[in-house]
Copies of this chain bind each other. A is one copy, B any other.
Amino acid sequence: MATAKPAKADSKKTDRKEQRKALQLEFARLQRQLLETDVSLIVLLDGWESSGKGRLMRDLVRRLDPRYYEASVIDPPTADETKNVLLWRFWRAIPRRGRIAVLNHSWYSELLNDLSVSPSEREQQLKAFRDFEKTLRNDGMVVIKFFLQQSKRDMKTNIKKLKKDPDRRFLVSERDEKQLADYDDYAKHFASILDECDAGGYGWTIIESSKKKPDAAAALTHVLQALGTKLQAEPDKKPEAPDKKTKSARPVSSLDLDEKLSREEYDRLKKPLQEEAGDLLYRMYTRQKAAVLAFEGTDAAGKGGAIRRLVADMDPRGYDIATTAAPDATERQYNHLWRFMRDMPQNGKLTVFDRSWYGRVLVERIESLTPESRWLQGYDEINAFEHHLVSEGRLVLKFLIVIDKDEQKRRFDARAEDPDKTHKLTDEDWRNREKFDQYLDAMDDMVVRTSTDEAPWIVIPGTDKRYARIAVLQAFVRQARDWLEKDEKAAQKAGRDKKRNKKAKKKK
């Protein structure tokens, strides 16, 4: 970890003031440069409570143009926020391209304040944060983390002073008092987490806040240096491209597409599966478990029809269908994963994504909408993103429905003739069709690189619509049931252990 130091160490007060003013003007100039270069900056303030984060925030943004920065307040998560995955609210707080966000707490905040966190939980969270920051940096965001250090004596003084002031008393929270009471424990805990961050190469910059006011000049100097470096920096090394020659696994293009199901068989199987799917959704609610389903496939593969049959007997209050179109102007101002976080289900809910975050390695790759170096990074970003969802207890299922080029032609022709379906067919579809083989290639790479044990791809032949629909229902029902049963068993075991512990205690 680094310690931020002001550029010059002038001792006279007026000099310091002049110097800070100059730094702030320089910062304001850099803000305009950010806008031109589309580089964004996120500044995280964390550290001891009552150490002056509010004042530092004010000093940092003092001369900035308010149109292009946001000072966000991150408090302990509210009841609503805890219903989603850990990083959900931070995904929503990141700045657009070219902009600045200053957060008064970071994603580390709850971990820093949890003295009794288990080693595995701590490791899991730190990994999530590392992955998140890597994804942000891949996009050209500069992430700066300041940790406000404070001695026990200063903390005591600050808290005492605040409590005397009736208008500021509320700034002293239970958290402040706890940190002061167990100062040494917290100091050790903070230091060990900061050490680990440092070792992982994603360290913090320490700001000494011991003179009551945290040193804004030091912070500003550090931000300016980091930004200056970034704005001149070379792009990162490109990740390895999928190699066509050595590619052996072709899970999509080598799929047997002849699977069929008779009308009778379909009618017999469908209803019980739909009813069970409906029941499973209610069970998910009861157990407060959330699921994320992504559907991919070429145009006319039958995604929409399969989704409609999947949710037919589900209570609409329990699920959402999020349809993914090309990103709009606002959405393009963020990391490609940002807009999907918006629709992530709360505990107890299901979201079905009709097309998903795989656009990055499908359409964006094929249409050259994203430079190769960036969509290649997409595979890792997506794996990390899904890992986060799974480690937060989500069921993640990804369905890929596959048809061949001839079948697509037949379906396009049928759509063209049916007045109720012709709206589904656009010029765009015909253009995409010309790239059918490229899509198959990209899907092969996608499945190979992102089918993981925790979030596997379910690849389904779609020539026969009935077959595909039943396959989707069956896969969902089986996986959701197993996942819920596992959760129920774990809950029962936890209940039994608790009882046993109680008994054991009584005996003593």
Cα-based distance from A394 to B225 in the complex (angstroms):
42
A317 contacts B73, CB within 8 Å? yes
Contact with B along A352-369 (1 / 0, CB 8 A): 001000000000000000
Which residues in A have some Cβ–Cβ distance to B below 8 Å?
25, 28-29, 32, 54, 57-58, 61-62, 65-67, 70-71, 73, 78-81, 102, 104, 166-171, 279, 282-283, 285-286, 304, 307-308, 312, 314-317, 320-321, 323, 325, 328-330, 354, 420, 423
Q: With A28-B420, A29-B420, A32-B423 in contact, is A170–B286 under 8 Å at CB?
A: yes
The answer on a CB contact under 8 Å between A321 and B79 is no
Interface of A is mostly: mixed
- List 15 other contacts, CB 8 Å, given A78-B79, A170-B282: A32-B423, A54-B316, A61-B316, A67-B323, A70-B320, A71-B316, A73-B317, A79-B79, A166-B286, A167-B282, A167-B286, A169-B286, A170-B285, A329-B329, A329-B330
Q: List 27 A-B contacts (CB under 8 A).
A: A25-B420, A28-B420, A54-B315, A57-B317, A58-B315, A58-B316, A61-B316, A62-B312, A66-B323, A66-B354, A67-B323, A70-B320, A71-B316, A71-B317, A78-B79, A79-B79, A79-B80, A104-B316, A166-B286, A167-B279, A167-B286, A168-B282, A169-B286, A170-B285, A171-B282, A328-B329, A330-B330
Contact status of A66 and B307, CB under 8 A, knowing A282-B167, A329-B328: yes
Nearest-Cβ distance from residue A71 to partner chain B, whole angstroms: 4
Asked, given contacts A286-B167, A420-B29, A423-B32, whether A66 binds B316 with beta carbons under 8 Å apart, the answer is no
Give CA–CA (A398, B454) in the complex, Å. Answer: 54
Assuming the contacts A316-B61, A330-B328, asked whether A66 and B170 have C-beta atoms less than 8 A apart, the reply is: no
- In chain B, what residue has the closest Cβ to A55? B315
